[in-house]
Amino acid sequence: MTDKENLTLDPSNWEEMRKLGHRMVDDLIDYWATIREEKIWKPIPAEVKAFLDQPIPEKGQSPEDIYEEFRQYIFPYNKGNVHPRFFAWIQGTGTPLGTFADLLASGMNPNTTIGEHSAMYVDRQVVNWCKQLMNFPSEASGILVSGGSMANITALTVARNSFGEEKIRQRGLKAASAQLVLYCSVETHSCIQKAAEIIGLGTAAVRKIGVNDRFEMKIEELETQIQADLSQGLLPFCIVGTSGTVNTGAIDPMDDLLSISKKYGLWFHVDGAYGALAKLDPKYAGRLKAIEEADSLAFDLHKWLYVPYEVGCTLIRDANKHREAFAITPNYLLQESRGLSGGLDSINNYGFELSRGFKALKIWMSLKEHGREKYAQMIAQNNRQAEYLAELVNQHPDLELMAPVSMSITCFRMKRKGWDEDQLRRFNREILLRLQEEGIASPSSTILHGKYTLRVANVNQRTRMEDLDLLVKEVLRIGGEIETI
C-alpha cells in the first residue's frame, strides 16, 4: 500500500481552512456586535426555500463556496433569539464566549459519556456547580441533557422506577399492581404529558389539576384527586410542580406540594426548565426555597443561564435511585483501573444516551466568565424588565394586562371599544404578525382563560428597558393603523 491510496476528509490546504475559520469568527463577531440595529426576523423568500430543497450532493464543492451559500441562504434568515427584542418562546440568547466554547468542544470532539479524559471531569464539575446553583446536597446526582423535555423525562423515569416494590425496570408496567398516576396542573408544560406517554404510563396516568387566578395549582383539588385515585386502587407516585409555567411564569405552591408529597409518600419532581434559576433573584428565593427539598429537579441552562443551545440538567436527590434506573455495563464497556477505560463512572449509567457531545464546556466557560453573582443580577434584571413592561401596560388606557406578572413573563393585549373576543383575537394577532414581519420585535401569543393574548417572555441578556418602551410604542402604532378586522 502506498500513501497515495490513503484517502482523508482533512483539507488539502490547512491555511485556507484557517482563513475560513477566521472569516467565520469575524462574521459572527460583527453579527453579534451590530444585532441591535438589525431586523429581528425576515420572511424567507421562495428561492431560499427552493435552494434548501434539493437532493443529496453526489460530488463535493469547496468549503469557501459552501460558506458563501451559508451566508446567502441560511445566516440572514435566523430565528432571532440572539436579538435584544426576542420575547417569543423561552429561548436564551447565548453569549460569544459560550459559542466559542462550542467551537472548542466540537474541535476536541470527545464522546462525553465514557473513558478517562478531561471532558469527563469538566462534566462532573459542571454538574456539581448545577447542584450548588440550586442548593442541592453534594451527594445528589445529576446529568446534562439536551434541554427541559429530556431533563423531565429522565427524572420521571427515575421516579417511576423507584416506585414501591414494583420492579418496573425489570418487569415492566404491565406487571405493576395497578395504573400509576402523576399529578401536575393544567398549566404544566406539555413535555410532562409527553414524558408520561413515552415511559409507558400513557395519557391515562396524568391528572391535570386546576389552577387559581394566578395560574398556580390548586392544592385542595390536588389532595382530593389523590384521595379519589387511592380509593379507586390506583397508584399515585409523583407530583410535578412547575417553577415558572411557560404561559405566565406562574409558580406552583412549592411548600404545599412538598408537604403533600411527603404526606402521601409521593415523588416530588420540579419542572424548573424555565424558572428554577429565578431562585437567584431575592424576590423569588423564598417561594422557590422548597425546590431544594425536591426528589428531582429539571432546569435549562440555555434558557436563563443564557448558554447557547443545547443544554439542560436533571438533578436527582438520591444518586443510588438515579443509577439504578439506568446502569448497564456490557462487555465492550468494561471499566479498567488504568488507561483510556479508567476514570469516572460512565455517564450512560445516569441517563438515556451513550452518545453525547462535550456540552459541559460552554457552561464551564460561562460560569467562569461571569460568576454566580452576575447571573443573579441578570436574572433579576429580566424580572424587573417584565414588571416595567407591566407598568407601561397599566399606564396606557388602550392596553390591558392579561395575567399577573410572575418572573419574566408579561401577558397583555390591546383593547378596542365595542369589539368582541374574536375581534380582539384577530386584532392582537395581526399586531403580533406585523411586529414580527416588520422585524421590530418577536413576542409570541397564547390563550389565557379562553382569551388571546400577546406574551412577552424574556430570558434575554441583550434586552434593555428601552426595548420595552419601543415594543409598547410599536404595538400602539400598529394597533392604531388597523381600523377594521
The DSSP code sequence of 337-382 is SSSTT-SSPPGGGGSS-S----THHHHHHHHHHHHHHHHHHHHHHH
Strand partners, 297: 270, 315
Q: CB 263 → its own copies: shortest distance, Å? A: 25
d(CA 347, CA 63): 35
Q: Quick check: 273 and 299 in contact, CB under 8 A?
A: yes
148-161 and 319-326 helices, crossing angle to 10°: 90
Can residue 395 be called a binding residue for its own copies (CB under 8 A)? no
Strands of the sheet containing 451-457, edge to edge, are 86-87, 442-448, 451-457, 409-414, 399-401
Read off the amino acid at residue 483.
E
**Of 334, 395, 397, 418, which one interacts with its own copies (CB under 8 A)?**
334
Looking at residues 431 to 470 of the shown chain, list those that interact with its own copies (rule: CB under 8 A).
Answer: 432-433, 436-437, 442, 444-447, 455, 461-466
Residues in contact with 37: Cβ distance below 8 Å, sequence separation at least 6, in sequence order: none
Q: CB 375 → its own copies: shortest distance, Å? A: 9
- Distances from the Cα of 186 to the Cαs of 156, 209, 358, 381, 449, in angstroms? 18, 6, 36, 29, 11
**Of 37, 46, 233, 328, which one interacts with its own copies (CB under 8 A)?**
328
Can residue 322 be called a binding residue for its own copies (CB under 8 A)? no
Looking at residues 1 to 30 of the shown chain, list those that interact with its own copies (rule: CB under 8 A).
Answer: 1, 3, 5-11, 14, 17-18, 20-22, 24-26, 28-29
Q: Quick check: 150 and 312 in contact, CB under 8 A?
A: yes
Which x/- pattern over 224-243 shows residues binding its own copies (rule: CB under 8 A)?
A: --------------------
Which x/- pattern over 98-137 shows residues binding its own copies (rule: CB under 8 A)?
A: xxx-xxxxxxxxxxx-xxxxxx-xx-xx--xx--xx----
Q: From 474, 457, 459, select the one nearest 399 (Cα to Cα).
A: 474
Residues present in the chain in total? 485
> CB-wise, 175 or 285, nearer to its own copies?
175
Q: From 347, 325, 349, 348, select the one nearest 159 (Cα to Cα).
A: 325
Binding residues for its own copies, total number by CB under 8 A: 186
Looking at residues 37 to 76 of the shown chain, list those that interact with its own copies (rule: CB under 8 A).
Answer: 41, 43-44, 48-49, 52-61, 63, 66, 69-70, 73-76
Can residue 97 be called a binding residue for its own copies (CB under 8 A)? yes
Element spanning 452, H or E:
strand 451-457
The Cβ-side half-sphere exposure at 65, using a 13 Å CA radius, reads 3
**Of 179, 318, 323, 416, which one interacts with its own copies (CB under 8 A)?**
179
> CB-wise, 256 or 300, nearer to its own copies?
300
Q: Which residue has the cell 428597558?
A: 465
> CB-wise, 388 or 419, nearer to its own copies?
388
**Of 137, 164, 172, 286, which one interacts with its own copies (CB under 8 A)?**
172
- Strands 442-448 and 451-457, how do they pair? antiparallel
Secondary structure class of 251 (helix, strand, coil): strand
> CB-wise, 109 or 320, nearer to its own copies?
109
Indicate if the alpha-carbon torsion angle 271, 273, 297, 168 is positive or negative.
Answer: positive
> CB-wise, 219 or 235, nearer to its own copies?
235
**Of 38, 39, 198, 398, which one interacts with its own copies (CB under 8 A)?**
198
Q: CB 262 → its own copies: shortest distance, Å? A: 26
Q: CB 416 → its own copies: shortest distance, Å? A: 21
Stretch that binds its own copies, among 187-195, 251-259, 393-401, 475-483 (CB under 8 A): 187-195
Residues in contact with 29: Cβ distance below 8 Å, sequence separation at least 6, in sequence order: 96
Q: CB 31 → its own copies: shortest distance, Å? A: 7
Can residue 338 be called a binding residue for its own copies (CB under 8 A)? yes
For residue 310, whether the previous peptide bond is cis, meaning omega lies within 30 degrees of 0, is yes
**Of 262, 283, 374, 477, which one interacts with its own copies (CB under 8 A)?**
374
Q: CB 1 → its own copies: shortest distance, Å? A: 4
Looking at residues 396 to 425 of the shown chain, list those that interact with its own copies (rule: CB under 8 A).
Answer: none
Q: What is the DSSP letter of 287?
A: T
**Of 215, 268, 326, 350, which one interacts with its own copies (CB under 8 A)?**
326
List the grid coordinates of 249: 411564569
Can residue 285 be called a binding residue for its own copies (CB under 8 A)? no
**Of 137, 164, 178, 227, which one interacts with its own copies (CB under 8 A)?**
178
Looking at residues 252 to 271 of the shown chain, list those that interact with its own copies (rule: CB under 8 A).
Answer: none
Looking at residues 132 to 171 of the shown chain, list those that interact with its own copies (rule: CB under 8 A).
Answer: 132-133, 146-150, 153, 157, 160, 168-171
Checking phi first, is residue 449 left (phi over 0); if not, alpha (psi -120 to 50) or beta? left
Q: CB 475 → its own copies: shortest distance, Å? A: 15
d(CA 111, CA 464): 39
Q: CB 47 → its own copies: shortest distance, Å? A: 12
